[in-house]
Copies of this chain bind each other. A is one copy, B any other.
């Protein structure tokens, strides 16, 4: 049997980190790899460019043939061949000769520069040259960007568009990536109904199902939502199936601190409850446990508390499962209002921040969704502070910083 005991946010983070799981990998097509995380580094199979190539549409020639050429004193060459993109030529460019060449095409033997079309005049295979070139001008040399065998990308990157181009150029059409965690969200509450214009009696609209699905998606994981009545038997049956089917389980509701509630009791019966109760506001009745080696995050049923607890404890865990080393990015702002707190508790106040200041949106209930909608940041009051004064600098976390 577990003991419900308020612990600090830091201690809770430590316990959760000690139970961090990592996803196995899978091999996917490169075209599906945007924002996935690669397991291995990449070694290029090719030099890039793979050959000396033209950086312009123009004419390949010997640069010394152009010395002194200008619009008023053009040089004259004979065009002996042409090379389009994807083509090559076996001719060798000699003195007095040029080869018409497309951007990206291989420089023919004998040539050491390319003159841009704009500085030429072509007629009947005769070419007037109206500029002076240096050796190498408009030539991209083999291996200039990458040499075969170079490491071109580290492991464990959240792959960006340009990283995919790099992987492709290195020769790879598939990528080994961390699997996305499959998350089962179990929303509890007999009082919950789906959105409707006609609410009856003590029913409440189930908004957590939408918030948590979106939060899980924002953490690069997959989500399924299950609804469960506040009933121990039903809860145990659903938990039993969930630990088989999902990599992570999140519950909302049923975590009251004062005595064991249905969710916490079921997790305790089926596995181990490692955390129940954190000195945090909102979200004090947070729980964390393990059933059959699967982590179970037990969030408050209050919509805003559920969201705050997800942002503090769950997001980071889901990202680390994919080897994304996320940490909260705390920045500083000046508070426009006094906010009281108590020593030993960490507060996450919904607030609106600009580049300099932050305006706490104060309200008493942890169920107040409207304040969350008006917010773009949390004002964080750490456990060693009794509050923030008006005009005092404080730590904040911008919601934008959650974006991977």
Contact = CB atoms under 8 A, between A and B. Distances in A.
A312 interface: no
A211 B105 contact: no
Contacts of A393: none
Most chain B CB within a 10 A radius of its CB, from A165, A168, A173: A165
B145 A171 contact: no
Chain copies in complex: 2
Interface stretch (A8-16, A266-274, A336-344, A369-377): A369-377
A127 interface: no
Nearest to A53: B202
B365 A165 contact: no
A373 B50 contact: no
B189 A85 contact: yes
A380 interface: no
A46 B168 contact: no
A30 B207 CA distance: 10
Contacts of A146: 369-370
Interface stretch (A17-25, A65-73, A155-163, A232-240): A155-163
Interface stretch (A191-199, A286-294, A383-391): A191-199
Interface stretch (A74-82, A213-221, A241-249, A318-326): A213-221
A214 B161 contact: yes
A203 B53 CA distance: 11
Interface in A326-385: 363-373, 375
Interface string A171-199: 11100000000000000011110111101
A103 interface: yes
A99 to B, nearest CB: 13
A85 B192 CA distance: 9
B209 A373 contact: no
B104 A301 contact: yes
Interface in A29-60: 30-31, 33-35, 45-46, 48-51, 53, 55, 57
A303 B165 contact: yes
Contacts of A104: 189, 191, 204, 301, 367
A215 B161 contact: yes
Contact of A117 (B33, B140, B201, B259): B259
Contact of A84 (B87, B190, B303, B371): B190
A204 B105 CA distance: 10
A228 interface: no
A123 interface: no
Nearest to A106: B202
A7 interface: no
A30 B209 CA distance: 10
A278 to B, nearest CB: 16
B48 A369 contact: yes
Contacts of A367: 49, 55, 104, 140, 145
22 contacts: A30-B210, A31-B210, A35-B214, A49-B367, A84-B230, A86-B191, A88-B202, A103-B301, A116-B258, A117-B256, A117-B258, A140-B365, A140-B367, A145-B367, A152-B370, A161-B215, A162-B307, A162-B369, A166-B372, A168-B206, A168-B209, A173-B196
Per CB-CB distance, the 4 closest pairs between chain A and chain B, nearest first, are: A86-B191, A86-B190, A117-B258, A34-B214
